[in-house]
Amino acid sequence: MHMTDIPFTVQAWAEVEATEHAGTTGKALWRTRQFGEIRVRMVEYTPGYLADHWCEKGHVLLVLEGRLETELEDGRRFTMTPGMSYQVADRAEAHRSSTDIGAKLFIVD
């Protein structure tokens, strides 16, 4: 990731309008800012959320609240709690998220 032409910016995430994205079950609320090619998001998954697709986009993801289950297409599973992160490159390993209790995440991709 090469970050250029991004001025110093302070963000109050509560002021960013949320967009709703349905999962197979539950929903995700995204608060998104775009800085050139870099997307920065505050994402909240409702309890019972299951992603409706296998994602191949690279991310740096940090769990802020709740619990996140991340499954890789090869069957590996990871349980993540506040303070844990994962990093994955574009098209490296397809993954999908779910949560039984809900989760709040900070994602850069």
- Say which CATH number the domain at 81 has: 2.60.120.10
Task: Tell me, yes or no, whether 99 lies in a domain.
Answer: yes
Our CA angle for 96, 91, 67, nearest 5°, is 25
Domain extent at residue 104:
17-108
Backbone Cα Rg of the chain:
14
pTM: 0.92
Tell me if 10 is assigned to some domain.
Answer: no
Going by C-alpha positions, the residue among 72, 65, 31 that lies closest to residue 51 is 72
How many domains does the chain fold into? 1
Beta bridge partners of 71: 77, 96
CA distance 61 to 18: 18
pLDDT in tens, 13-61: 999 999 999 999 999 999 999 998 899 999 999 999 999 999 999 999 9
**Three-state DSSP class for residue 109:** coil
